[in-house]
Structure 1
Amino acid sequence: MSEKYLIGVDGSDHSRAALKWGLARATERGAAVELIHVADDSFLSESVAFLSEAQAASEQMLAHEIERARTELGFTGEIAGTAVVGHPIAEVEAASKQADLLVLGAHTGGKFAGSVFGTRAVKIAAVAHCPVAVIPAEQEDAGRGVVVGVDGSEASKRAIAFAAEEASFRGVPLIAVYAWMPPLTPGLEYLWSEELVTAQQAAAEESIAIGTAGLAERYPDLEVRREIVQAPPVTALLQVAETAEMVVVGSRGRGGISRLLLGSVSHGVLNALPCTTVVTRAE
Protein backbone atom coordinates (compact mmCIF):
# COMPACT_ATOMS: atom_id res chain seq x y z
CA MET A 1 0.00 0.00 0.00
CA SER A 2 1.44 3.37 -1.01
CA GLU A 3 2.08 6.18 1.43
CA LYS A 4 -0.21 9.18 1.66
CA TYR A 5 1.06 12.76 1.95
CA LEU A 6 -1.14 15.54 3.29
CA ILE A 7 -0.15 19.00 2.02
CA GLY A 8 -1.57 22.23 3.44
CA VAL A 9 -2.42 24.81 0.77
CA ASP A 10 -3.72 28.38 1.00
CA GLY A 11 -2.53 30.03 -2.21
CA SER A 12 0.46 31.78 -0.64
CA ASP A 13 4.03 31.50 -1.90
CA HIS A 14 4.85 29.65 1.30
CA SER A 15 2.25 26.93 0.81
CA ARG A 16 3.23 26.65 -2.84
CA ALA A 17 6.80 25.92 -1.81
CA ALA A 18 5.40 23.15 0.36
CA LEU A 19 3.24 21.91 -2.51
CA LYS A 20 6.18 21.76 -4.89
CA TRP A 21 8.33 19.91 -2.34
CA GLY A 22 5.58 17.51 -1.36
CA LEU A 23 4.67 16.63 -4.94
CA ALA A 24 8.31 16.03 -5.86
CA ARG A 25 8.71 13.68 -2.91
CA ALA A 26 5.44 11.91 -3.72
CA THR A 27 6.63 11.38 -7.29
CA GLU A 28 9.91 9.91 -6.07
CA ARG A 29 8.20 7.50 -3.71
CA GLY A 30 4.97 6.75 -5.54
CA ALA A 31 2.87 8.25 -2.76
CA ALA A 32 -0.72 9.45 -3.02
CA VAL A 33 -1.37 13.11 -2.24
CA GLU A 34 -4.21 14.86 -0.46
CA LEU A 35 -4.32 18.64 -0.39
CA ILE A 36 -6.15 20.34 2.46
CA HIS A 37 -7.40 23.91 2.67
CA VAL A 38 -9.05 25.16 5.85
CA ALA A 39 -11.06 28.37 5.82
CA ASP A 40 -10.50 29.67 9.33
CA ASP A 41 -13.87 30.31 10.94
CA SER A 42 -12.46 32.13 13.97
CA PHE A 43 -13.55 35.53 12.66
CA LEU A 44 -16.48 34.50 10.50
CA SER A 45 -20.10 35.19 11.16
CA GLU A 46 -21.95 32.07 12.25
CA SER A 47 -24.74 32.71 9.78
CA VAL A 48 -25.41 29.93 7.29
CA ALA A 49 -24.84 32.33 4.37
CA PHE A 50 -21.37 33.36 5.49
CA LEU A 51 -20.30 29.79 6.25
CA SER A 52 -21.62 28.65 2.90
CA GLU A 53 -19.62 31.33 1.11
CA ALA A 54 -16.52 30.37 3.08
CA GLN A 55 -16.96 26.73 2.10
CA ALA A 56 -17.37 27.67 -1.56
CA ALA A 57 -14.25 29.84 -1.44
CA SER A 58 -12.31 27.01 0.21
CA GLU A 59 -13.39 24.57 -2.49
CA GLN A 60 -12.43 27.04 -5.20
CA MET A 61 -8.99 27.54 -3.67
CA LEU A 62 -8.50 23.80 -3.44
CA ALA A 63 -9.57 23.19 -7.04
CA HIS A 64 -7.13 25.86 -8.21
CA GLU A 65 -4.22 24.28 -6.36
CA ILE A 66 -5.06 20.79 -7.65
CA GLU A 67 -5.13 22.17 -11.17
CA ARG A 68 -1.81 23.88 -10.55
CA ALA A 69 -0.35 20.61 -9.30
CA ARG A 70 -1.41 18.88 -12.50
CA THR A 71 -0.60 21.51 -15.12
CA GLU A 72 2.14 23.77 -13.77
CA LEU A 73 3.98 21.26 -11.58
CA GLY A 74 3.27 18.24 -13.77
CA PHE A 75 2.21 15.84 -11.03
CA THR A 76 0.77 12.67 -12.54
CA GLY A 77 0.16 10.64 -9.41
CA GLU A 78 -2.97 10.12 -7.33
CA ILE A 79 -4.23 13.43 -5.92
CA ALA A 80 -7.37 14.46 -4.04
CA GLY A 81 -8.38 17.33 -1.82
CA THR A 82 -10.33 18.34 1.26
CA ALA A 83 -11.84 21.79 1.69
CA VAL A 84 -13.36 22.63 5.07
CA VAL A 85 -14.44 25.55 7.23
CA GLY A 86 -13.21 25.27 10.79
CA HIS A 87 -10.26 25.69 13.14
CA PRO A 88 -7.07 25.02 11.16
CA ILE A 89 -5.18 23.25 13.93
CA ALA A 90 -8.06 20.94 14.82
CA GLU A 91 -8.92 20.16 11.20
CA VAL A 92 -5.36 19.40 10.17
CA GLU A 93 -4.75 17.33 13.30
CA ALA A 94 -7.77 15.19 12.47
CA ALA A 95 -6.69 14.79 8.84
CA SER A 96 -3.14 13.86 9.88
CA LYS A 97 -4.45 10.64 11.47
CA GLN A 98 -4.81 9.22 7.96
CA ALA A 99 -1.48 10.48 6.59
CA ASP A 100 2.10 9.24 6.56
CA LEU A 101 3.57 12.74 6.21
CA LEU A 102 2.15 16.25 6.62
CA VAL A 103 3.79 19.01 4.57
CA LEU A 104 3.45 22.69 5.51
CA GLY A 105 5.04 25.90 4.30
CA ALA A 106 6.69 28.69 6.28
CA HIS A 107 9.07 31.61 5.94
CA THR A 108 12.81 31.11 6.10
CA GLY A 109 14.64 32.72 8.97
CA GLY A 110 12.26 32.13 11.83
CA LYS A 111 9.54 34.61 10.83
CA PHE A 112 6.59 32.46 9.94
CA ALA A 113 4.25 33.59 7.19
CA GLY A 114 0.96 35.34 7.82
CA SER A 115 -0.95 32.49 6.23
CA VAL A 116 -2.76 29.74 8.10
CA PHE A 117 -0.08 27.17 7.41
CA GLY A 118 2.75 29.55 8.25
CA THR A 119 1.79 31.06 11.58
CA ARG A 120 0.49 27.78 12.94
CA ALA A 121 3.10 25.39 11.61
CA VAL A 122 4.72 25.01 15.03
CA LYS A 123 1.42 24.31 16.77
CA ILE A 124 0.31 21.88 14.09
CA ALA A 125 3.64 20.05 14.34
CA ALA A 126 2.97 19.63 18.05
CA VAL A 127 -0.40 17.94 17.61
CA ALA A 128 -0.07 16.06 14.30
CA HIS A 129 -0.29 12.27 14.34
CA CYS A 130 2.39 11.78 11.68
CA PRO A 131 5.77 13.34 10.86
CA VAL A 132 5.53 16.98 9.77
CA ALA A 133 7.80 18.56 7.15
CA VAL A 134 8.02 22.36 7.26
CA ILE A 135 9.39 23.87 4.05
CA PRO A 136 11.07 27.30 3.82
CA ALA A 137 9.46 29.61 1.29
CA GLU A 138 12.85 30.56 -0.12
CA GLN A 139 15.69 28.10 -0.10
CA GLU A 140 19.23 28.83 -1.10
CA ASP A 141 21.16 26.22 -3.00
CA ALA A 142 20.27 23.02 -1.18
CA GLY A 143 23.05 21.59 0.91
CA ARG A 144 23.83 17.92 1.17
CA GLY A 145 23.05 15.52 3.95
CA VAL A 146 20.36 14.86 6.54
CA VAL A 147 21.05 16.14 10.05
CA VAL A 148 19.55 14.52 13.13
CA GLY A 149 20.03 15.07 16.85
CA VAL A 150 21.05 12.20 19.11
CA ASP A 151 20.29 12.23 22.84
CA GLY A 152 19.19 8.70 23.72
CA SER A 153 15.49 9.52 24.12
CA GLU A 154 12.64 7.68 22.41
CA ALA A 155 11.94 10.86 20.45
CA SER A 156 15.52 10.86 19.22
CA LYS A 157 15.30 7.20 18.20
CA ARG A 158 12.26 7.93 16.04
CA ALA A 159 14.03 10.89 14.49
CA ILE A 160 17.14 8.84 13.74
CA ALA A 161 15.08 6.10 12.09
CA PHE A 162 13.34 8.63 9.83
CA ALA A 163 16.55 10.51 9.03
CA ALA A 164 18.50 7.34 8.23
CA GLU A 165 15.82 6.08 5.83
CA GLU A 166 15.65 9.51 4.20
CA ALA A 167 19.43 9.81 3.80
CA SER A 168 19.68 6.28 2.43
CA PHE A 169 16.90 6.89 -0.10
CA ARG A 170 18.49 10.15 -1.25
CA GLY A 171 22.01 8.73 -1.31
CA VAL A 172 23.38 11.46 0.98
CA PRO A 173 25.22 11.32 4.31
CA LEU A 174 23.40 11.02 7.60
CA ILE A 175 24.92 13.54 10.00
CA ALA A 176 24.26 12.55 13.60
CA VAL A 177 24.81 15.38 16.07
CA TYR A 178 25.34 15.00 19.79
CA ALA A 179 25.40 18.26 21.73
CA TRP A 180 26.70 18.66 25.24
CA MET A 181 27.52 21.50 27.59
CA PRO A 182 29.31 21.39 30.94
CA PRO A 183 27.11 22.66 33.76
CA LEU A 184 28.08 26.30 34.08
CA THR A 185 27.97 28.01 37.43
CA PRO A 186 29.10 31.64 37.17
CA GLY A 187 32.45 32.07 38.83
CA LEU A 188 33.10 28.34 39.22
CA GLU A 189 34.16 27.45 35.69
CA TYR A 190 37.65 26.80 36.97
CA LEU A 191 36.34 23.68 38.76
CA TRP A 192 36.06 21.95 35.40
CA SER A 193 39.38 20.17 35.05
CA GLU A 194 40.80 18.82 31.82
CA GLU A 195 40.11 15.30 33.10
CA LEU A 196 36.42 16.03 33.59
CA VAL A 197 36.09 17.54 30.14
CA THR A 198 37.82 14.48 28.66
CA ALA A 199 35.42 12.22 30.53
CA GLN A 200 32.44 14.16 29.20
CA GLN A 201 33.78 13.88 25.67
CA ALA A 202 34.17 10.13 26.07
CA ALA A 203 30.62 9.84 27.37
CA ALA A 204 29.40 11.83 24.37
CA GLU A 205 31.23 9.53 21.96
CA GLU A 206 29.70 6.49 23.63
CA SER A 207 26.20 8.00 23.48
CA ILE A 208 26.38 8.87 19.79
CA ALA A 209 27.79 5.41 18.99
CA ILE A 210 24.87 3.77 20.79
CA GLY A 211 22.38 6.11 19.14
CA THR A 212 23.54 5.18 15.63
CA ALA A 213 24.19 1.50 16.30
CA GLY A 214 22.66 -0.88 13.78
CA LEU A 215 22.42 1.61 10.93
CA ALA A 216 25.33 0.06 9.02
CA GLU A 217 23.58 -3.32 8.97
CA ARG A 218 20.26 -1.87 7.85
CA TYR A 219 21.70 0.57 5.31
CA PRO A 220 25.04 -0.87 4.11
CA ASP A 221 25.68 1.96 1.67
CA LEU A 222 24.75 4.78 4.05
CA GLU A 223 27.52 7.14 5.06
CA VAL A 224 27.10 8.09 8.73
CA ARG A 225 28.97 11.09 10.05
CA ARG A 226 29.05 11.57 13.80
CA GLU A 227 29.60 15.08 15.13
CA ILE A 228 29.99 15.97 18.79
CA VAL A 229 29.43 19.66 19.39
CA GLN A 230 30.04 21.48 22.65
CA ALA A 231 27.06 23.81 22.45
CA PRO A 232 23.37 23.91 23.39
CA PRO A 233 21.35 21.39 21.30
CA VAL A 234 19.54 23.98 19.15
CA THR A 235 22.75 25.87 18.44
CA ALA A 236 24.56 22.65 17.55
CA LEU A 237 21.86 21.45 15.16
CA LEU A 238 21.54 24.82 13.44
CA GLN A 239 25.31 25.05 13.06
CA VAL A 240 25.56 21.68 11.33
CA ALA A 241 22.35 22.19 9.32
CA GLU A 242 23.79 25.27 7.57
CA THR A 243 25.21 23.02 4.87
CA ALA A 244 22.50 20.30 4.91
CA GLU A 245 19.33 19.76 2.90
CA MET A 246 17.21 18.54 5.80
CA VAL A 247 17.21 18.44 9.58
CA VAL A 248 15.10 15.96 11.55
CA VAL A 249 14.06 16.57 15.15
CA GLY A 250 11.91 14.50 17.48
CA SER A 251 8.82 15.59 19.37
CA ARG A 252 8.25 13.72 22.60
CA GLY A 253 4.48 13.99 22.37
CA ARG A 254 2.34 15.15 25.26
CA GLY A 255 -1.25 15.01 26.41
CA GLY A 256 -3.76 17.68 27.29
CA ILE A 257 -3.13 21.36 26.73
CA SER A 258 0.63 20.80 26.62
CA ARG A 259 0.14 18.96 23.30
CA LEU A 260 0.29 22.39 21.68
CA LEU A 261 3.84 22.85 22.95
CA LEU A 262 6.83 21.34 21.20
CA GLY A 263 10.00 20.58 23.11
CA SER A 264 12.54 23.37 23.31
CA VAL A 265 14.82 21.78 20.71
CA SER A 266 12.22 21.09 18.03
CA HIS A 267 10.60 24.47 18.67
CA GLY A 268 13.96 26.26 18.43
CA VAL A 269 14.93 24.57 15.17
CA LEU A 270 11.51 25.25 13.61
CA ASN A 271 11.69 28.91 14.57
CA ALA A 272 15.06 29.24 12.86
CA LEU A 273 14.16 26.89 9.98
CA PRO A 274 17.66 26.57 8.48
CA CYS A 275 16.38 24.19 5.77
CA THR A 276 13.56 21.72 5.30
CA THR A 277 12.76 20.55 8.83
CA VAL A 278 10.94 17.35 9.74
CA VAL A 279 9.40 16.83 13.18
CA THR A 280 8.79 13.16 13.99
CA ARG A 281 6.42 11.79 16.60
CA ALA A 282 7.23 9.62 19.60
CA GLU A 283 3.84 8.32 20.67
Structure 2
Amino acid sequence: MSEKYIIGVDGSEQSRVALAWGLARATERGASVELLHVADDSFLSESVAFLSEAQQASQQMLQTECEYAKSLGFTGEVSGTAVVGHPIAEVEEASKRADLLVLGAHQGGRLAGSFFGTRAVKVAAVAHCPVAVVPETDPAPNAGIVVGIDGSEAARHAIAYAAKEASRRRLPLIAVYAWMPPLTPGLEYLWSEELVESQRTAAEEAIAIGTAGLASEYPDLEVRREIVQAPPVAALVQAAEGAEMLVVGSRGRGGISRLLLGSVSHGVLQALPCPTVVTRG
Protein backbone atom coordinates (compact mmCIF):
# COMPACT_ATOMS: atom_id res chain seq x y z
CA MET A 1 0.00 0.00 0.00
CA SER A 2 1.47 3.36 -1.04
CA GLU A 3 2.05 6.18 1.39
CA LYS A 4 -0.21 9.21 1.56
CA TYR A 5 1.01 12.76 2.13
CA ILE A 6 -1.22 15.64 3.16
CA ILE A 7 0.15 19.07 2.25
CA GLY A 8 -1.33 22.21 3.75
CA VAL A 9 -1.86 24.99 1.21
CA ASP A 10 -2.88 28.64 1.49
CA GLY A 11 -1.57 30.17 -1.74
CA SER A 12 1.38 31.94 -0.11
CA GLU A 13 4.97 31.71 -1.29
CA GLN A 14 5.95 29.79 1.85
CA SER A 15 3.10 27.35 1.32
CA ARG A 16 4.22 26.71 -2.24
CA VAL A 17 7.78 26.00 -1.07
CA ALA A 18 6.34 23.26 1.14
CA LEU A 19 4.10 22.08 -1.68
CA ALA A 20 7.05 21.67 -4.06
CA TRP A 21 9.03 19.85 -1.34
CA GLY A 22 6.15 17.51 -0.59
CA LEU A 23 5.49 16.76 -4.26
CA ALA A 24 9.16 15.99 -4.90
CA ARG A 25 9.19 13.61 -1.97
CA ALA A 26 5.92 12.00 -3.08
CA THR A 27 7.44 11.42 -6.53
CA GLU A 28 10.43 9.65 -4.95
CA ARG A 29 8.17 7.44 -2.84
CA GLY A 30 5.32 6.89 -5.27
CA ALA A 31 3.00 8.40 -2.65
CA SER A 32 -0.42 9.88 -3.25
CA VAL A 33 -0.99 13.51 -2.30
CA GLU A 34 -3.93 15.28 -0.70
CA LEU A 35 -3.88 19.07 -0.60
CA LEU A 36 -5.68 20.59 2.39
CA HIS A 37 -6.95 24.13 2.78
CA VAL A 38 -8.67 25.19 6.00
CA ALA A 39 -10.59 28.46 6.12
CA ASP A 40 -10.42 29.58 9.74
CA ASP A 41 -13.96 30.21 11.00
CA SER A 42 -12.83 31.85 14.24
CA PHE A 43 -13.71 35.34 13.02
CA LEU A 44 -16.55 34.47 10.68
CA SER A 45 -20.19 35.10 11.25
CA GLU A 46 -22.14 31.94 12.03
CA SER A 47 -24.72 32.82 9.41
CA VAL A 48 -25.22 30.28 6.65
CA ALA A 49 -24.40 32.91 4.00
CA PHE A 50 -20.99 33.75 5.48
CA LEU A 51 -20.05 30.11 5.98
CA SER A 52 -21.15 29.26 2.44
CA GLU A 53 -19.00 32.06 1.02
CA ALA A 54 -16.04 30.88 3.11
CA GLN A 55 -16.46 27.35 1.82
CA GLN A 56 -16.59 28.56 -1.77
CA ALA A 57 -13.46 30.65 -1.27
CA SER A 58 -11.69 27.68 0.30
CA GLN A 59 -12.62 25.43 -2.62
CA GLN A 60 -11.45 28.06 -5.10
CA MET A 61 -8.12 28.34 -3.28
CA LEU A 62 -7.78 24.57 -3.31
CA GLN A 63 -8.49 24.37 -7.03
CA THR A 64 -5.83 26.98 -7.72
CA GLU A 65 -3.25 25.06 -5.70
CA CYS A 66 -4.16 21.74 -7.36
CA GLU A 67 -3.54 23.37 -10.73
CA TYR A 68 -0.25 24.78 -9.44
CA ALA A 69 0.79 21.30 -8.29
CA LYS A 70 0.19 19.98 -11.79
CA SER A 71 2.15 22.89 -13.27
CA LEU A 72 5.18 21.69 -11.28
CA GLY A 73 5.09 18.48 -13.30
CA PHE A 74 3.75 16.18 -10.61
CA THR A 75 2.13 13.22 -12.35
CA GLY A 76 1.03 11.25 -9.30
CA GLU A 77 -2.39 11.08 -7.72
CA VAL A 78 -3.56 14.43 -6.28
CA SER A 79 -6.79 14.99 -4.39
CA GLY A 80 -7.97 17.98 -2.39
CA THR A 81 -9.98 18.85 0.68
CA ALA A 82 -11.37 22.31 1.44
CA VAL A 83 -13.01 22.87 4.82
CA VAL A 84 -14.20 25.68 7.06
CA GLY A 85 -13.33 25.19 10.71
CA HIS A 86 -10.68 25.48 13.37
CA PRO A 87 -7.32 24.94 11.64
CA ILE A 88 -5.64 22.91 14.40
CA ALA A 89 -8.63 20.63 14.91
CA GLU A 90 -9.15 20.11 11.19
CA VAL A 91 -5.48 19.36 10.54
CA GLU A 92 -5.32 16.97 13.49
CA GLU A 93 -8.29 15.06 12.10
CA ALA A 94 -6.72 15.00 8.63
CA SER A 95 -3.44 13.65 10.04
CA LYS A 96 -5.24 10.42 11.01
CA ARG A 97 -5.34 9.45 7.33
CA ALA A 98 -1.78 10.48 6.44
CA ASP A 99 1.72 9.01 6.59
CA LEU A 100 3.24 12.50 6.54
CA LEU A 101 1.81 15.98 7.02
CA VAL A 102 3.69 18.78 5.24
CA LEU A 103 3.39 22.43 6.27
CA GLY A 104 5.01 25.65 5.10
CA ALA A 105 7.09 27.74 7.47
CA HIS A 106 6.09 31.29 8.18
CA GLN A 107 4.64 33.31 11.00
CA GLY A 108 0.96 33.62 10.26
CA GLY A 109 -0.25 34.29 6.75
CA ARG A 110 -2.12 36.69 4.55
CA LEU A 111 -5.14 34.41 4.29
CA ALA A 112 -7.61 33.31 6.93
CA GLY A 113 -6.79 29.66 6.28
CA SER A 114 -3.11 29.86 7.21
CA PHE A 115 -2.03 27.32 9.79
CA PHE A 116 1.72 27.67 9.60
CA GLY A 117 4.41 29.37 11.65
CA THR A 118 3.52 29.22 15.33
CA ARG A 119 0.54 27.07 14.47
CA ALA A 120 2.92 24.50 13.01
CA VAL A 121 4.18 23.93 16.57
CA LYS A 122 0.64 23.22 17.73
CA VAL A 123 -0.04 20.96 14.77
CA ALA A 124 3.14 18.98 15.44
CA ALA A 125 2.01 18.50 19.03
CA VAL A 126 -1.39 17.03 18.17
CA ALA A 127 -0.82 15.28 14.83
CA HIS A 128 -1.23 11.52 14.51
CA CYS A 129 1.60 11.18 11.97
CA PRO A 130 5.04 12.72 11.40
CA VAL A 131 4.94 16.42 10.56
CA ALA A 132 7.38 18.13 8.17
CA VAL A 133 7.75 21.90 8.44
CA VAL A 134 9.53 23.25 5.37
CA PRO A 135 11.35 26.60 5.18
CA GLU A 136 12.90 28.02 2.04
CA THR A 137 16.51 26.82 2.26
CA ASP A 138 19.20 25.50 -0.06
CA PRO A 139 20.85 22.32 1.23
CA ALA A 140 24.60 22.11 0.86
CA PRO A 141 26.07 19.58 -1.61
CA ASN A 142 25.96 16.05 -0.17
CA ALA A 143 24.27 17.43 2.94
CA GLY A 144 23.25 14.85 5.49
CA ILE A 145 20.24 14.18 7.64
CA VAL A 146 20.61 15.37 11.23
CA VAL A 147 18.87 13.69 14.16
CA GLY A 148 18.81 14.60 17.83
CA ILE A 149 19.65 11.92 20.39
CA ASP A 150 18.92 12.14 24.11
CA GLY A 151 18.24 8.56 25.18
CA SER A 152 14.46 8.96 25.28
CA GLU A 153 11.83 6.80 23.60
CA ALA A 154 10.89 9.77 21.41
CA ALA A 155 14.50 10.05 20.24
CA ARG A 156 14.58 6.36 19.34
CA HIS A 157 11.63 6.88 17.00
CA ALA A 158 13.41 9.88 15.50
CA ILE A 159 16.61 7.89 14.94
CA ALA A 160 14.71 5.09 13.22
CA TYR A 161 12.97 7.57 10.92
CA ALA A 162 16.13 9.53 10.15
CA ALA A 163 18.20 6.42 9.45
CA LYS A 164 15.61 5.12 7.02
CA GLU A 165 15.52 8.48 5.25
CA ALA A 166 19.30 8.73 5.05
CA SER A 167 19.61 5.18 3.73
CA ARG A 168 16.96 5.79 1.05
CA ARG A 169 18.64 8.98 -0.10
CA ARG A 170 22.16 7.63 0.31
CA LEU A 171 23.09 10.51 2.56
CA PRO A 172 25.13 10.50 5.77
CA LEU A 173 23.23 10.35 9.06
CA ILE A 174 24.51 12.89 11.57
CA ALA A 175 23.52 11.91 15.12
CA VAL A 176 23.88 14.80 17.56
CA TYR A 177 23.98 14.44 21.33
CA ALA A 178 24.09 17.76 23.19
CA TRP A 179 24.86 18.05 26.86
CA MET A 180 25.44 20.76 29.42
CA PRO A 181 26.79 20.41 32.97
CA PRO A 182 24.11 21.28 35.54
CA LEU A 183 24.41 24.92 36.45
CA THR A 184 23.25 25.66 39.97
CA PRO A 185 23.80 29.28 41.00
CA GLY A 186 26.40 29.48 43.72
CA LEU A 187 27.50 25.84 43.34
CA GLU A 188 29.59 26.08 40.20
CA TYR A 189 32.71 25.45 42.28
CA LEU A 190 31.51 21.87 42.91
CA TRP A 191 32.09 20.99 39.25
CA SER A 192 35.56 19.51 38.96
CA GLU A 193 37.22 18.35 35.74
CA GLU A 194 36.56 14.76 36.86
CA LEU A 195 32.83 15.36 37.06
CA VAL A 196 32.77 17.09 33.68
CA GLU A 197 34.69 14.16 32.20
CA SER A 198 32.14 11.75 33.65
CA GLN A 199 29.43 13.73 31.88
CA ARG A 200 31.31 13.41 28.59
CA THR A 201 31.65 9.67 29.12
CA ALA A 202 27.93 9.37 29.80
CA ALA A 203 27.26 11.30 26.58
CA GLU A 204 29.49 8.94 24.59
CA GLU A 205 27.66 5.94 26.02
CA ALA A 206 24.26 7.49 25.26
CA ILE A 207 25.08 8.23 21.61
CA ALA A 208 26.59 4.76 21.16
CA ILE A 209 23.44 3.16 22.55
CA GLY A 210 21.23 5.46 20.48
CA THR A 211 22.89 4.47 17.22
CA ALA A 212 23.44 0.81 18.07
CA GLY A 213 22.19 -1.59 15.42
CA LEU A 214 22.22 0.88 12.54
CA ALA A 215 25.31 -0.68 10.95
CA SER A 216 23.67 -4.10 10.73
CA GLU A 217 20.32 -2.73 9.52
CA TYR A 218 21.83 -0.29 7.01
CA PRO A 219 25.30 -1.64 6.05
CA ASP A 220 25.95 1.14 3.53
CA LEU A 221 24.81 3.98 5.79
CA GLU A 222 27.47 6.45 6.89
CA VAL A 223 26.82 7.45 10.50
CA ARG A 224 28.56 10.46 12.00
CA ARG A 225 28.30 10.86 15.76
CA GLU A 226 28.70 14.34 17.19
CA ILE A 227 28.81 15.12 20.91
CA VAL A 228 28.39 18.82 21.59
CA GLN A 229 28.65 20.71 24.86
CA ALA A 230 25.86 23.20 24.19
CA PRO A 231 22.12 23.64 24.76
CA PRO A 232 20.27 21.01 22.66
CA VAL A 233 18.32 23.45 20.48
CA ALA A 234 21.40 25.51 19.65
CA ALA A 235 23.44 22.37 18.93
CA LEU A 236 20.82 20.90 16.58
CA VAL A 237 20.17 24.17 14.76
CA GLN A 238 23.87 24.69 14.14
CA ALA A 239 24.41 21.08 13.03
CA ALA A 240 21.45 21.29 10.64
CA GLU A 241 22.45 24.50 8.85
CA GLY A 242 22.49 23.50 5.20
CA ALA A 243 21.34 19.95 5.99
CA GLU A 244 18.89 18.01 3.86
CA MET A 245 16.64 17.39 6.85
CA LEU A 246 16.50 17.63 10.64
CA VAL A 247 14.55 14.97 12.56
CA VAL A 248 13.44 15.36 16.16
CA GLY A 249 11.12 13.31 18.34
CA SER A 250 7.86 14.33 19.96
CA ARG A 251 6.69 13.09 23.34
CA GLY A 252 3.18 12.59 22.05
CA ARG A 253 -0.09 14.37 21.46
CA GLY A 254 -1.78 16.69 23.87
CA GLY A 255 -3.35 20.07 24.43
CA ILE A 256 -0.37 22.00 25.82
CA SER A 257 1.75 22.23 22.71
CA ARG A 258 5.10 23.28 24.14
CA LEU A 259 5.11 20.84 27.07
CA LEU A 260 3.82 17.85 25.15
CA LEU A 261 5.77 18.53 21.99
CA GLY A 262 8.94 18.95 24.03
CA SER A 263 11.08 22.03 24.47
CA VAL A 264 13.71 20.85 21.96
CA SER A 265 11.19 20.10 19.20
CA HIS A 266 9.44 23.36 19.98
CA GLY A 267 12.73 25.25 19.83
CA VAL A 268 13.91 23.90 16.49
CA LEU A 269 10.52 24.57 14.90
CA GLN A 270 10.96 28.21 15.87
CA ALA A 271 14.43 28.32 14.27
CA LEU A 272 14.02 25.93 11.28
CA PRO A 273 17.53 25.68 9.82
CA CYS A 274 16.23 23.24 7.17
CA PRO A 275 13.15 21.06 6.52
CA THR A 276 12.36 19.62 9.93
CA VAL A 277 10.38 16.46 10.65
CA VAL A 278 8.80 15.83 14.04
CA THR A 279 8.20 12.12 14.48
CA ARG A 280 5.53 10.47 16.57
CA GLY A 281 6.12 8.42 19.70
Does the alignment reach a TM-score above 0.5?
yes
Give the structure 1 partner of residue 85 of structure 2: 86
Residues 127 and 260 in structure 1, CA contact (< 8 A), matched pair in contact too: no
Give the structure 2 partner of residue 130 of structure 1: 129
Residues 126 and 257 in structure 2, CA contact (< 8 A), matched pair in contact too: yes
Matched, 1:160 2:155: no
**CA separation in 2, counterparts of 1:22 and 1:122?**
18
Q: SS of the residue aligned with 2:109?
A: coil
Structure 1 counterpart of 2:182, which letter? P
Distance 1:142 1:41, change over 3 A: farther
**Which runs of structure 2 are paired with 1:250-265 in the superposition (5 Å)?**
250-255=249-254, 257-258=255-256, 261=259, 262-265=261-264
Give the structure 2 partner of residue 16 of structure 1: 16
Q: SS of the residue aligned with 2:150?
A: coil
Question: Normalising to structure 1: TM-score of the pair?
Answer: 0.94
Residues 9 and 36 in structure 1, CA contact (< 8 A), matched pair in contact too: yes
**CA separation in 2, counterparts of 1:149 and 1:198?**
21
Structure 1, unaligned runs of 5 or more: none
**Which runs of structure 2 are paired with 1:111-190 in the superposition (5 Å)?**
112-114=107-109, 116-119=114-117, 120-136=119-135, 138-142=136-140, 144-190=143-189
**Which runs of structure 2 are paired with 1:174-253 in the superposition (5 Å)?**
174-253=173-252
**CA separation in 2, counterparts of 1:146 and 1:229?**
17
Q: SS of the residue aligned with 1:222?
A: coil
C-alpha deviations, 1:108-133, integer Å up to 9, x for none?
xxxx2425132311111111100000
**CA separation in 2, counterparts of 1:141 and 1:193?**
41
Tell me how large the CA RMSD over aligned residues is.
1.4
Count of paired positions: 275
Question: Normalising to structure 2: TM-score of the pair?
Answer: 0.94
- Percent identity, aligned pairs only, is 78
Q: SS of the residue aligned with 1:39?
A: strand
**CA separation in 2, counterparts of 1:23 and 1:281?**
22
Q: SS of the residue aligned with 1:118?
A: coil
Post-superposition offset of 1:193: 1.7
Moved over 3 A (4+): 140-143
Matched, 1:60 2:55: no
